[in-house]
Every structure is written in structure tokens, then in C-alpha cells.
Amino acid sequence: MTKALVSAPPFDFRAGKAALLVSMPHVGTEIPECMAGRLSAACEPLGDTDWHLPRLYDFAAGLGASVLTARYTRFAVDLNRPPDDAPLYATATTGLHPDILFDGTPAFKPGQDLQEAERAGFLEQVWRPYHGRIASELERIVAAHGYAILFDAHSIASEIPRLFEATLPEFNLGTADGASADARLTERLASVLREAREYRLAVNGRFTGGYITRRYGRPDERVHAVQLELAQRTYMNEKAPYDYVPARAERVRPFLRGFVEAMLDWGRGHGA
């Protein structure tokens, strides 16, 4: 029997009545007990976390969406990477069990990286349950509505030279280069984000969607998946301790709400 590495459920889940599932795979901040004291000083503040997204999107449940949020840090296992750890991008990235931060800094103290048994354990006890919930919830939604929309919500620091040049646009919409969602849905969502004149938009630019978007988006089977990578400067301080900044957040939240509402509206007219 595999040793239990986590003591709590690997995710929080709230079922909704609409045809939308919101996934937040990188918001986890709990550190499994076996990793205590092993993270590097640079990693201990848990950089590369999608900070505060449950608060930023707290309207989603009220709109009827199902909401799935990760509990454990991505430095145990990255829920948006494939289980075989195949690279998602030809450019620099991090893997299924990140041993570096996005900027290339070591995530663990020397000699304290995850061991093979720990990697296997986190895959089985955290990664597979999260993906099992995505799959079962999408199946339930399709059975109830005839279609499903999956929104994979992310955020990232605006400047990470190792990953991308210059400053990242505020909104980065990804649909696996058009493979994971109907083109009409993509254009509808892009049009909503273009209304935010103070922000820039990229569609299938540096971020085309991670494993979740690519794995579950099947437009020909009436399951549409989109990812939004939001620049963190729109709602928080990008340096530790990564404070939420209400004044910034309240400027961007109306557009995020409109983005989610547009998914629901489009689905009712075209999803099935």
C-alpha cells in the first residue's frame, strides 16, 4: 500500500447547476507534511502560485458554475501537467513535479528534492483525484445540459524573462490554438475582454492552454475548454507576500464577470 502523503482532500469542490465548471489548479498553498523544511528560501513564499483567484472569481458560484480548487501547492505536483510529464511548450517551462521556480531558481534545498516514491504518491493521491473530479463533473454536466464548458483559471507574474519577453498582456486567452473550443465561443470571449480598454489581450499567444485545456476540450463532443492566464498586476502585488489589492481587483473584476457570463450565455445559445 502506498504511504499516505496528504491528510486532507486534495481539492475543494462546489457543484453548480449551470453548464460551466471553473477549475483553479494552481491556487493550492498547503504544503504536505513530508515537504516541511525542504523548500528553498526562494520558494518558501510559494511563488508561482495563482494567488487569490477564489476571491477574485467569488461570483462564479452565484452564477451557477461548479467550482473546483486545488488545496496543495504545485511544488508537490502540478495539476496542469500531463501525468507522463511530457513538455507542453517548446520554450522554457516547469514540469509535473517542479524543482525550479519559473525564473529558474531551485525550489528545494540541496539534496531535498522529491524522491521517486513521493512523486508517485502525489500523482496518485493529488493529481488523479483532481482530474477524476474534472472528468466526472464534465460527464455530469453534459448529461444534464447536452454540453459543457470548462474554464481553467490562472494568473501569473507580468514579467518572467525566462518564460517570455517583455511584459505579459493582462489577458491571455488560450484554446489550444483553436482545438479545445468552438471558434465562435473564443471570439465571443475575446470580444468581452477587448471591451476592457485599459488592458491588453492575447489570444493563443505565449499561453495557449495547459494540459487541462488540451485534455478536456473536445468541441466535437460538445465539451469546450478555455484557459485565461491573467497578469497578476491587475489585482495584487506581484512580490511576496503577494497581497491582494482591492482597488486594482475591483477594476478588473467586472470584465472577469462579463467573461464568465459570456460563457454561460454562449452555451445556452450554441452549446448543445
pLDDT digits (tens, 9 = 90+) for 146-165: 999 999 999 999 988 878 88
Any domain includes 249:
yes
- The per-residue pLDDT for 56 is 98
- The per-residue pLDDT for 271 is 66
Any domain includes 202:
yes
- The per-residue pLDDT for 272 is 65
CA distance 62 to 113: 41
CA distance 67 to 24: 8
**Which range marks the domain in which residue 81 is found?**
11-271
Name the E strands within the chain.
11-14, 20-24, 66-70, 148-156, 171-174, 201-203, 223-231
Any domain includes 185:
yes
pLDDT(89) > 70: no
CA distance 63 to 20: 9
Task: From 250, 263, 227, select the one nearest 63 (Cα to Cα).
Answer: 263
Any domain includes 6:
no
Any domain includes 2:
no
CA distance 221 to 236: 37
- How much is the mean pLDDT over the chain? 95
pLDDT(90) > 60: no
Domain count, the chain: 1
pLDDT(170) > 60: yes
Any domain includes 127:
yes
133: domain CATH number? 3.40.630.40
Helix pair 183-194, 246-266: axis angle to 10 deg:
150
Any domain includes 246:
yes
Any domain includes 1:
no
* pTM for the full predicted model: 0.95
Mean pLDDT of 61-89: 94
With the C-alpha atoms ordered 107, 113, 118, 120, is the resulting torsion angle positive or negative?
positive
